[in-house]
Amino acid sequence: CNDDLDRVPTYDLNTESVYKDAEGYQRVAAKVYSGFAVTGGQGPDAATGDILGIDQGTSDYVRSLWSAQELTTDEAVIQWGDPGVQDWHNMNWTSSGVLIRGLYSRILYEVTLCNGFLAQATDANLSSRGITGADLTNIQRLRAEVRFLRALAYYHALDLFGNPPFATENDEIGGTTPPRQTTRTELFTYIESELKAIDADLAAPGQNLYGRADKAAAWTLLAKLYLNAKVYTGTERNADCATYAKRVIDSGVYSLTPQYKNLFRTDNNTSKEIIFPIVYDGKRTQTYGGTTFLTHAAVSGTANSFWNPARYGIDGGWGGIRTTPRLYQQFPDTAADARAKFVTGGQSLEVTSQTTFTDGYVPIKFKNISSTGAPGSDLVFVDTDFPMFRLADVYLMYAEAALRGGGDQALALTYVNRVRARAFNNAPAGNITSGQLTLDFILNERSRELYWEATRRTDLIRYERFTTGDYLWAWKGGVAGGRAVSDDRRLFPLPAADLSVNPNLTQNPGY
Amino acid sequence: QTGSISGRVLDEQKQGLPGVTVVIEGTSLGNSTNADGTYSIQNVPTGPQILIISFVGYNTQRQPVTVNNGQNTAVPNVVIGENTTLLNEAVVVGYGTQRKEDVTGAVTQIDEKQFVKGQVTNPEQLIQGKVAGVQITTGGGAPGSATTIRIRGGSSLNASNDPLIVIDGVPVDNSGVSGAANALSLINPNDIETYTVLKDASATAIYGSRASNGVILITTKRGVQGEKITVNVSSLASVSKRYNSVDVLSANQLRNTVASVAPTKSNLLGSSNTNWQDEIFRTAFTSDNNVSVAGAAGKLPFRVSYGNLEQQGILRTNRLIRNTGSISLTPVLFDNTLKVNLNLKGSIIDNNFADAGAVGAALAFDPTQPVRSGAEGYGGYFEYLQSAGGVPQQNVPRNPVALLELRRDRSTVKRSIGNIQLDYALPFFRDLHANVNLGYDITRSNGSNLVDATAAAAYFNRPLDPAITDRQGGSFNRYAQNRDNKLLEAYLNYTKQLGETRLDLLAGYSYQDFVTTSPNLPTYLADGTTIFRAAAVNPFRTQYTILSYYGRANLSINDRYVLTGTLRNDASSRFPSYNRNALFPAVSAAWNIKNESILKDNNTFSDLKLRAGYGITGQQDIVGAAGSDYPYIQRYVVNSLQAQYGFYNPATSQYEYYIPYSPQGFNRNLKWEQTTTYNAGIDYGFLDGRLSGSVDVYYRKTKDLLAVIPIPILTNYTNQLVSNVGSLENKGVELNLNATPVQGEHWNWTLNANGTYNVNKILSLGPQVEGFAGIENNGVAGGTGTNIGIYRVGEPSSSFYVYKQVYGTDGKPLQDVYADLNGDGIINSNDRYVYKQAAPPVILGFSSNVSYDRVNLAFTLRSQLGSYLYNNVNSQNGTYNGLTSQPTVITNATQDALYTGFTNLKQERYSSDYYIQNASFLRMENITLGYDAGKIMGNRGNLRLTAAVQNVFLITKYSGLDPEIFNGVDNNVYPRPRTYTIGLNLSL
């Protein structure tokens, strides 16, 4: 009878049964990918997701990242009263805030998933498990992709938290030894070296399935890393940024999607512009975060003459996110610029109250309908993919790096005008001259092109406008007219919950 | 030359009386009676003898008997009368019975006479308010709703705080049963004879790992040897009514308020005057009929019973039908050497659940709108639509009546608990008994849930079809669950009386296995064929096993000094092999001062006993916290079909989808949680027992708490993990007082009062740094992710964690103004503070029974003091937000909105201490008038008539419906009705 005490799960697997063949590796790799898209293994309505201590839908990777990058800026305000959600815009978040902890936990949980896979995917393990031939090649490629995904998650940790704890596949999972803390400079170097190290094993640009990372995804991430190098390490790396941006552009497999709006529709998987997406499906990849959040939250909670949820392919809106006047005012000509689509009827331009949905215009971006107007497969969960990296961003990164002295300014103008031309439906009105191409123009153009795509906070920090009084927006720092806040707000605090259990951690300054 | 004698001792109700001392006068030969009152004495010298039958609290009887050589002499049943009408002094303990004198732990036994009367659906309601230290909170007014039982506060944070419940020797699984809100509701209360609550470790440690939160032993009724066959019929009929409402704005109040605070929205109001609470509630009827036959058929004592309960809930469509049957056979075979105890209980419950969401919807739904729209769509019910004749609005309340009427939520749950217990006195060593107990607890649940295709609530389950606007998806799903729990117990029991010394030794082995399975079934649209949500990839199955060895020694010297020691070794499959075994010891002692020579003849004291005990108990019920029965194993769960990930192949225009394997967090260092309990008590009796009771003080400290706590990120596949961390304590005092103020030929009056004072405090949660406030818990409705409670070191585990509301000079709360408690100039989550607690520090119970000849009047009062409740109804609905915030819909507010004038509030609203309200209360649980009609039908039958009212009155300062809510959050609870019952009880 003592043997009866060794009960094991009937249907769940263990490490041996999971990694016994190539399929198991593939399915754990799918888990690593899905970590960016869904909140847990049992669907969005399960009792718990991967991250505990936070509402499951709110714990989503893209939703958390988006909130940290957009709600903190002039591009977005939110109506809701969930704990901490107003703190983003008011810039009064604390180390005990549930959303800060959710963001941090989600990013580093993703790193743990990667580490767990990589520990099992060593050549020695693959060999001892008899995996050979095409299976071996595929898993080796997946291994490089997972290292890319880990670099991406660490990049977000670097950008948002600066000095996070650090572990790799060489650290035990399931042990009790807390990981050491890394520094921004050290982590920068690590991400850079990882991305370079995997280059040989990743698929050539455009040669992998859509949704899987290839060389171009890694190059884009390197370009982002270098563009912000001064913020991260104190040293500019603009030439390196331009090099990698150009390498993506010159790969020749990417082109701008002819109509801007189709980048954010259910069939954006056919876009030639998206370099690395987070893939959603209304039936098979469901979450209350991701594009489901981005679509519903930007639609009024009740339908009326200004708001028809069916136009977005959904059952109803959640009445959450709008923008401050700043974003609307970035567009000198909202009629000519295809990107300047806002719901203004029934809404006021000014945000008198963040918690009143009708205060603030609402950009029209993500929809659960296709480019031809067909509704998505589900009325709650959205089919549209989130473009994590896309070509227009790379063009603008190149242009900025060039203006900062790292590349060819004439080429920069060409790239910028490609982005402009698409925005203005190929009308020459949108084109700018070399004299108009300034760093300020780039920042504003990035906002016009990439608003609500989770880059704004990083951009404002790079331009030193995130915390300073040089650029204000409604309710920046929690006051109606906006105010400067401490430069320490450029980094988020490490959550008090992790500090309390990991004695190796030191809190970021100012918290 | 010797023979043996056997017989039975009964109380005045003709019930077997356990623990009665029966000795042969002038010798040390004797024994005590068993649970059913039977006794036997071996090796009695032949010839005429006198039996002295004595029992604390009863009048001693002398019974002559003649013993024949080599024969067993059957002694006629002896009825002994109480010298008090108070507590039955019989005590059932773990694995046997004990004389009350020999009990050294904190044990309270409640028998049928003291049970709460009236319409009792769940067995645990029988002892609500009757036992010091025991808090029983029903989950609301739904028939068979879940109940929370806490004995001496909770000893755990995230592991279960439920007591172990043992029914006729079978420890039952009282965790959630699919399709039945309350697993215990499958037991018919009419079959229950006694409840014994074991509270301190010296009493519970024999149950080791499951005993940290106390043990409740339930004994059911049975037939007894030599008894004539009696048929008992009882019938109850009751009417339940809602006696109060949540104070929401009436239609006219709403019209006036809209006119003043949101005049532009007056056009959204309707012309009806609907009281939505009246629309969803009803007067409910219940009938409860039971018949039992008990007695001895020849040599076979038996009892069979059948019960039928049909209970309506006061929420429309809510109904419970329960059919129960039980068989008990208790023969004694082979010259009194083999006692057989066979119990079979079975029940079938048919539930019609109502959507409890209708309660909340009724508070929020606009009272100026009609129940029915006059149009055909949506079942004819008024609903908010996105446009006239269009599809339903989202994020608005749904018509409360439609929520009830357009859903059919049914379940059938069958449960059977049974065991056969064999007690064999070894032929050549009759002091030694071998006892084998084989038991099972099996449940079969089946249920289905249909939301009508016309329901607005499930309209969007099918992609939009412009051709259909009033009839869309709906939903239909089935569920099932099988639970198969097995028990094997075997123990040896050795009892020896050596002069004035009694020795009682017990050693045993126990094996218990729990298996739960559920099939994986999809959710369909209302048509029952179109799959709306795919089934899980795998069915569900989980299993755990507990294997134990235990022993107990009880030594009584001169009936004055009693020593008890117990030891149990438990091994649970939920822990890794290297942490699997744990030893749970306990020792306790009692001193019967009354039996000392100085008090022996003292008439003031009729009882005086000191008790002291110490013991360690454990905790292994961590499924709720860990999420599985395998918390230490590194598992990979196959993702559901909603959590796949796909890659698109442009070459084929196809997606390649993968169903991922998700690694789960695991704790390979997991071990037992241990609670150390110290208990000291005094049992007292004065004036021949007319005043008696007990006082207990206790201190319980739990270490290696099984708590879900943050772990260093990057070390596991989760950010919070069930871990052994920290400690907490409970300390308290319990008082119990029984009194018989009047005892006479006609008039009799008995009273029971009990009180508990318990202080709970978290001592440690592991390492702490500045800025770490604690672990938040207890989510509330309205603000997604808002937690109202916190686990914090130095505070009670049910503490609230809130902002400090600032009040104006008029005493009203100021909107959005909270105190800057940390003085940093900004109001943020760091300004919250710990304020009050949900768990009541003081629990009081008071019962009275007055009788005059054949009429008696009994009532039970219950009170909790110092408990606080978060009024989630007001924090959600107590503002004008619902009137102003949405452009096309008005939702109703509670009267609190008129008081505060709150309009549009910030996120802190949900965490304001304004909504933490004193929930102390005094409730009259029941009052019963009984009339004993005596012999009827030519002296063949006994008839008793009763009339009872339950939930008679409630005195409280709490502003919501009912202050008695277990988890501290009042959020649309199904109200407890007031119930009027008439009943008759006929025995033939």
Which residues 6+ apart lie within 8 Å of A346 measured at CB?
A300, A304, A305, A306, A307, A358, B887
Exposure on the CB side of residue B274, measured as CA atoms within 13 A: 25
Facing residue for B633 by CB, picked from A14, A284, A503: A14
pLDDT digits (tens, 9 = 90+) for B39-90: 888 888 888 888 888 776 676 777 888 888 888 888 888 888 765 433 335 6
Angle at B765 between CA B764 and CA B768, to 5 degrees: 100
For chain B, positions 770-789, list CB contacts with chain A under 8 A.
771-773, 775-776, 783-787
Q: What is the pLDDT of residue B84?
A: 41
B881-900 residues touching A, CB cutoff 8 A = 885-889
Identify the band that residue A428 occupies on the pLDDT scale cut at 50, 70 and 90. confident
Interface ipTM: 0.95
CA distance B869 to chain A (A): 20
Interface residue A479 vs chain B (CB under 8 A): no
Minimal CA–CA distance to B487: which of B126, B146, B164, B147?
B164
Average pLDDT over residues A244-262: 96
Chain A residues within an 8 Å CB radius of B649: 209-210
| DSSP per position, A411-469 | HHHHHHHHHHHHHTTT-GGG---TTT--HHHHHHHHHHHHTTSS-HHHHHHHTT-SSST
Q: What is the pLDDT of residue B85?
A: 34
Domain boundaries, chain A: 214-279+385-463
With a CB-CB cutoff of 8 Å, which residues 113-172 of chain A face chain B? 113, 115-116, 165-167, 171-172
Q: Is B460 close to A346, i.e. CB distance below 8 A? A: no
Distances from the Cα of A220 to the Cα of A210, A249, A405, A412, angstroms = 16, 10, 19, 16
Q: Is A112 on the interface with B (CB under 8 A)?
A: yes
DSSP class of residue B912? Answer: B
Tell me which residues of chain B, numbers 129 to 188, contact chain A at a CB-CB cutoff of 8 Å. none
User: Minimal CA–CA distance to B877: which of B888, B868, B890, B864?
Assistant: B890
Using alpha carbons, select from B838, B857, B837 the residue that is nearest to residue B924.
B857
Give SS3 for B825: coil
Q: pLDDT at position B905, please?
A: 67
Q: Flag whether residue B520 sits within 8 Å of chain A, measured between CB atoms.
A: no
pLDDT score, position A269: 96
CA-to-CA dists, residue B672 to B200, B676, B873, angstroms: 19, 13, 39
What are the chain B neighbours of A317 within 8 Å (beta carbons)?
A: 394-395
Nearest C-alpha neighbor of B347 from the set B327, B328, B326, B318 = B326
How does residue B982 score in pLDDT terms, banded at 50, 70 and 90?
Answer: very high
d(CA B937, CA A126): 88
Does residue A7 belong to the interface with chain B, where contact is any CB pair within 8 Å? Answer: yes
In angstroms, rounded to a whole number, what is the distance separating the alpha carbons of residues B152 and B133? Answer: 5
In Å, the largest CA–CA distance within chain B is: 106
Find the range with the poorest average confidence among A291-295, B234-238, B353-357, B905-909: B905-909
Q: Residue B591 corresponds to which amino acid? A: W
- pLDDT digits 0-9 by tens, B465-494: 666 655 578 899 999 999 999 999 999 999
Please tell me what DSSP assigns to residue A200: T
Q: Average of pLDDT values for B953-961?
A: 93
| Mean pLDDT of all residues in B391-405 | 91
More confident residue, B274 or B884: B274
A143 touches A121 (CB < 8 A): yes
Q: Do B642 and A31 touch (CB under 8 A)?
A: no
> Would the pLDDT of B663 be above 90?
yes
Burial label, B901 (beta-carbon count in 10 A; 0-12, 13-18, 19+): middle
Range from B176-185, B492-501, B862-871 carrying the lowest mean pLDDT: B176-185
CATH of domain B91-220: 2.170.130.10
Out of B644, B663, B889, the one facing A116 most closely (by C-beta) is: B663
Q: Which residue of B has its CA nearest to A8?
A: B630
Q: Are residues A105 and B663, on separate chains, in Cβ contact within 8 Å? A: no
pLDDT tens digits, B297-320: 888 889 999 999 999 999 999 999
Within 10 angstroms of residue B375's Cβ, the number of other Cβ atoms is: 14
Chain position carrying tokens 């024969």: B71
Which one of B719, B784, B818, B891 makes the best mutation probe of the A interface by having the most chain A beta carbons within 10 Å?
A: B719
pLDDT digits (tens, 9 = 90+) for B168-223: 888 887 677 777 777 788 888 888 888 888 888 878 888 888 888 888 888 898 88
Q: Determine which helix (DSSP H) or strand (DSSP E) holds B760, and give its type and residue range.
A: strand B747-764
The answer to whether A14 faces chain B, any CB pair under 8 Å, is yes
pLDDT at B967: 87
pLDDT score recorded for residue B471: 59
- Asked if B65 contacts B5 with a C-beta cutoff of 8 angstroms, the reply is yes
What letter would DSSP give residue A210?
Answer: B
Task: Supply the mean pLDDT for chain B.
Answer: 88
What burial class does residue A349 get, using C-beta atoms within 10 Å of its C-beta: 0-12 exposed, 13-18 middle, 19+ buried? middle
> Using the beta-carbon criterion (under 8 Å), do A7 and B669 form an inter-chain contact?
no
- How many residue pairs bridge chain A and chain B with CB atoms within 8 Å of each other? 355
Residue B271, judged by CB atoms within 10 A of its CB (0-12, 13-18, 19+), counts as exposed
User: HSE of A95 in the Cβ direction (CA atoms, 13 Å)?
Assistant: 22
The answer to whether the Cβ–Cβ distance between B393 and A302 falls below 8 Å is yes
The tens digit of pLDDT for each residue in A28-69 reads 999 999 999 999 999 998 888 999 989 899 999 999 999 999
Give the one of A12, A85, A270 whose C-beta lies nearest to B637's C-beta: A12
Distances (CA, A) of B240 to B277, B288, B528: 15, 14, 36
A417 touches chain B (CB under 8 A): no
Predicted pLDDT at B88 = 39
pLDDT at B28 over 80: no
Element (H, E) at A189: helix A184-197
**pLDDT above 90: percentage of residues in chain A:** 89
Asked if B661 lies within 8 A of A18 by C-beta distance, the reply is yes
Extract the runs of DSSP E, i.e. beta strands, from B132-260.
134-138, 147-151, 164-167, 170-172, 192-198, 215-220, 230-241
B88-130 pLDDT, tens digit each: 356 788 787 777 777 888 888 888 888 887 778 888 888 888 8
* Contact (CB<8Å) A6/B573: yes
- Considering chain A, what is the average pLDDT of its residues? 95
Provide the token pair at A390.
Answer: 């896309």
Mean pLDDT of A270-280: 96
Fold exhibited by the domain A214-279+385-463: 1.25.40
User: The tokens of B102 are what?
Assistant: 């020999």
> How many Cβ atoms are within 10 Å of B336's Cβ, its own excluded?
15
Which 3 state secondary structure label does DSSP give B211? coil
Q: Which amino acid is at B727?
A: S
**Identity of the residue in A7, A17, A507 whose CB atom sits nearest the CB atom of B545:** A7
B868-871 and B969-970 as β-strands: parallel, antiparallel, unpaired? parallel
Domain boundary assignment for chain B: 2-79, 91-220
CB atoms within 10 A of CB B388: 6
Which pLDDT score, from 0 to 100, does residue B86 have? 35
Give residue B621's identity as a one-letter amino acid code.
D
Interface of B with A in 302-341 (CB under 8 A): none
Residues 6 or more apart in contact with residue B446 via CB below 8 angstroms: B179, B411, B412, B413, B478, B479, B480
The Cα–Cα gap between A62 and A153 comes to 11
Tokens standing for residue B811: 């005493």
Is A178 in contact with B511 (Cβ distance < 8 A)? no
Give mean pLDDT, residues A226-244: 97
C-beta atoms of A175 and B715 within 8 A: yes
- Count how many Cα atoms sit within 13 Å of the Cα of residue B701 in the half-sphere of its side chain: 7
In DSSP notation, B396-456 reads SPPPHHHHHHTEEEEEEEEEEEEEEEEEEE-TT-TTEEEEEEEEEEEEEEEEEEEE-TT-G
The candidate with the shortest Cα–Cα distance to B657, out of B639, B681, B676, B679, is: B639
Task: Phi first, then psi: give them for residue B254, nearest 5 degrees.
Answer: -65, -40
The beta-carbon neighbor of A179 closest among B635, B712, B786 is: B712
Q: Which residue of B has its CA nearest to A55?
A: B785
Q: Quick count: other Cβ atoms within 10 Å of Cβ B263?
A: 9
Minimum-distance CB partner of A500 among B544, B633, B768: B768
| pLDDT (average), residues B780-793 | 87
Using CA atoms, how far apart are residues A264 and B237, in angstroms rounded to an integer? 64
How many residues in chain B?
Answer: 988
What is the rounded end-to-end Cα distance, in angstroms, of chain A? Answer: 55
Strand partners, B104: none
> Cα separation of A480 and A495, whole Å?
28
Are the Cβ atoms of A28 and B395 closer than 8 angstroms?
A: no
- Between positions 191 and 210 of B, the ones with CB within 8 A of A are none
Round to whole Å and give the CA distance between B128 and B114: 10
What value does the mean pLDDT take over residues B675-692? 89
Beta carbons of A81 and B909 less than 8 Å apart: yes
Contact indicator for B778, B742 with CB cutoff of 8 Å: no
Say what the pTM is.
Answer: 0.89
Residue range B801-822: average pLDDT?
92
d(CA A368, CA A379): 8
How far is B225 from B38, CA to CA, in rounded Å? 8
pLDDT at B90: 61
The architecture (CATH level 2) of B2-79 comes to Sandwich (2.60)
Q: Are A26 and B658 within 8 A, CB to CB?
A: yes
Torsion over CA: A57, A58, A64, A68 (sign): positive
Burial of A499 (0-12, 13-18, 19+ CB in 10 A): buried
Q: Would you call B663 and A284 a contact, using CB atoms and an 8 Å cutoff?
A: no
CA B958 to chain A, closest CA, distance in angstroms equals 26
Q: What is the pLDDT of residue B146?
A: 83
For residues B911 and A146, give the distance between their C-alpha atoms in angstroms, rounded to a whole number: 41
Contact A96 B773 (CB under 8 A): yes
- Chain B residues touching A22 at Cβ < 8 A: none
- How far CA A242 is from CA of A220, A225, A461, in Å, comes to 10, 11, 20
SS3 of residue B39 by DSSP: strand
Residues with Cβ within 8 Å of B352's Cβ and at least 6 positions away in sequence, in order, are B317, B318, B319, B320, B408, B409, B410
Mind telling me how many Å the CA of B137 is from chain A's nearest CA?
Answer: 24
Does A274 touch chain B if contact means CB atoms closer than 8 Å?
no
- Beta strand ranges found along B573-726 (DSSP E): 581-592, 605-619, 636-638, 645-649, 654-658, 661-663, 673-686, 691-703, 706-710, 720-724
Contact (CB<8Å) B829/A87: yes
CA gap B224, B725 in Å, rounded: 51
Residue B788 structure tokens: 């109202």
Question: Which residues of chain A lie closer than 8 angstroms to B667, CB-CB?
Answer: 174
